[in-house]
Amino acid sequence: MDILANLALGFSIALSPYTLMLAVIGCFLGTIIGALPGLGPSNGVAILIPLTFALGLDATSALVLMTAVYYGAMYGGRISSILLNIPGDEPALMTTLDGYPMAKAGRAGDALVLSGVASFVGAFLATLGLIFLAPLLARVAFLFGPAEYFALYLLAFCTLGGMASNNQAKAAIASCIGLAIAMIGVDESSGLPRLTGGNLHLYDGVDFLVAIVGLFAITEVFFFIESHGKHSSLGVKLDKVSIPWKDIIACRWVMLRCSAVGFIAGVLPGAGASLGSFMAYMSEKSIAGEKGGFGTGVAKGIAAPEAGNNAAAGGALVPMLTLGVPGSGTTAVLLALLMTLNITPGPTLFTENPEVVWGLIASLLIANFVLLVMNVPMVKIFVRVLQVPPWVLMPGVTMISFVGIYSLSGSYFDLLLMVGFGVLGYIMRKLDIPTVPVILGILLGGHMETALRRAMLLSDGDWTYLFSSPISIGLWVAAVSGFVAPMFLRNILKKPQRVTD
């Protein structure tokens, strides 16, 4: 009955009018951010972090607001996927495969409602899963020593690099760049500067928010300049929105199955939402077989990735909260938020700050219902948002990024670094090098090094200590196989390409 008591605590916080208001605002903002082409959950949340900081919110309020934005963006992403054939971010790619053809066939309203309901089912079940799994995992996490944590961080990099990218070497380079950047600054244990090149600005290290906003938001601006924003005109008409009960009922098992698949994929550290929607779509495609017509605009092809995607978004919160290891790009951004708020995620979070965790979980449950209301009857409001032309939107995003980062430290140097990260992100994305491992590296680099050094201190420099417990051996095996296995599976499981007109 622990869970019920904890939930009661959570709801007592989440149902206070102020927190409730923050959750509703977050849902609204999030849906808009998700719907706007060029602004996905990761960069949307990243841009908002410095601004939340400026508002002076306390930890719980800030967390509630931002996770509501996060869930909202996951809902909103489907709107641009379906109507514009532009995935707001990587996980929404799968939704374009059937969503856009269905919208072109004149059933845009049906596609939006169905995907909204599927998102709700996925997110709701995943939040329930989070309620049951997170406390259990937090208890296991108490058994983790530095050697286990080192292996766990390695696992996150390996699964992220192995599954979410097309080329292992490129993912490894990206991880190394991130880790290398994390090492810059004053070394915590000796107090001496490292790798700063004598530059005083670098003594504090590189702020991860600077890197995140640069790599996500500024890079996006460069891509819009390259394409002149050509791909973002509304090509599909949305007339009336009714609820397609027949499709929803026909998809009930699909949604349940895909929620389970998505949740599991989300819980794997490093794998995340992209893998969730991908696995969900592919498994339903093979269950439906040739006759299922996946890829031509069928209802199941929309319900599957959306349920999987949103379930993975919830699942990704499990390792993030209990172990401090994010399961996706956006949870990496949320981890950045926790770190800025001086909250250390991990098993102690559940015992020392239960009000933060359970307030957050209760807010997620509430946010989910708010989002269902916003995204089904009120979906037309958000479709309007798509008409904001990119030549207003992208300069606006840039200016907000600049002011946000500037408000952190008031130094022009951070702004220059941010532009630098923007350029780096552009080159990396052009070369199909994933940028999320860079973020993960900057976020986790310090922890990973500390874990390694503590482990070596405990064992007096004996390297075999890293593989001395069953948990760490298991994690090492998972890490190596997570990195190597996709090389062989790649030919079997080919990623479907985007539909082109």
What residues make contact with other proteins under the rule CB under 8 A? Answer: 51, 54-56, 166-167, 169-170, 172-173, 176-177, 179-180, 183, 187, 189-195, 197, 218, 221-222, 224-226, 228-229, 389-392, 394-396, 398-400, 402-403, 406-407, 410, 412, 415-416, 418-419, 422-423, 426-427, 430-433, 448-449, 452-453, 456-457, 460-461
> Degrees (nearest 5) of the Cα angle 105, 108, 113?
140
Calpha distance 262→222 (Å, rounded): 32
Identify the burial level of 403 via C-beta atoms within 10 angstroms of its C-beta, where 0-12 means exposed, 13-18 middle and 19 or more buried.
middle
> Closest approach of Cβ 364 to other proteins, in Å?
25
CB closer to other proteins, 457 vs 489: 457
CB closer to other proteins, 158 vs 238: 158
> Closest approach of Cβ 295 to other proteins, in Å?
24
Give 415-484 as a DSSP string.
Answer: HHHHHHHHHHHHHHHHTT--SHHHHHHHHHHHHHHHHHHHHHHHHTS-GGGGG-SHHHHHHHHHHHHHHH
> Closest approach of Cβ 477 to other proteins, in Å?
19
CB closer to other proteins, 254 vs 405: 405
The closest alpha carbon to 343, from 57, 133, 137, belongs to 57
> Closest approach of Cβ 438 to other proteins, in Å?
12
Calpha distance 333→319 (Å, rounded): 14
CB closer to other proteins, 131 vs 438: 438
CB closer to other proteins, 369 vs 391: 391
> Closest approach of Cβ 5 to other proteins, in Å?
37
CB closer to other proteins, 162 vs 422: 422
491 Cβ partners below 8 Å, 6+ apart?
A: none
CB closer to other proteins, 377 vs 396: 396
Calpha distance 406→95 (Å, rounded): 36
The closest alpha carbon to 98, from 119, 114, 76, belongs to 114
> Closest approach of Cβ 25 to other proteins, in Å?
12
**Tokens standing for residue 227:** 């394409």
Cβ-based neighbour number of residue 225 at 10 Å? 12
Helix (H, G, I), strand (E, B) or coil at 99: helix
> Closest approach of Cβ 288 to other proteins, in Å?
32
| DSSP tag of 411 | -
CB closer to other proteins, 231 vs 257: 231
The closest alpha carbon to 262, from 330, 310, 302, 303, belongs to 310
Q: Which residues, listed in sequence order, are joined to residue 193 by a DSSP beta bridge?
A: 186
> Closest approach of Cβ 466 to other proteins, in Å?
11
Residue recorded with tokens 């996927």: 81
Calpha distance 110→247 (Å, rounded): 9
> Closest approach of Cβ 328 to other proteins, in Å?
22
Region of residue 192 (left: phi > 0; alpha: psi -120 to 50; beta: else): beta
CB closer to other proteins, 12 vs 450: 450
| DSSP tag of 341 | T
> Closest approach of Cβ 455 to other proteins, in Å?
9
Helix pair 412-430, 390-409: axis angle to 10 deg: 130
> Closest approach of Cβ 229 to other proteins, in Å?
5
CB closer to other proteins, 109 vs 146: 146
Residue 44 and residue 28 in contact, taking contact as beta carbons nearer than 8 Å: no
> Closest approach of Cβ 206 to other proteins, in Å?
14
CA distances (Å), origin 209, targets 402, 417, 418, 422? 12, 11, 9, 13
CB closer to other proteins, 8 vs 195: 195
Helix H or strand E segment including 392: helix 390-409
CB closer to other proteins, 214 vs 314: 214
**Tokens standing for residue 431:** 């070369």
**Tokens standing for residue 301:** 């092809």
* Strands of 137-274, DSSP E: 185-186, 193-194
CB closer to other proteins, 112 vs 221: 221
> Closest approach of Cβ 361 to other proteins, in Å?
28
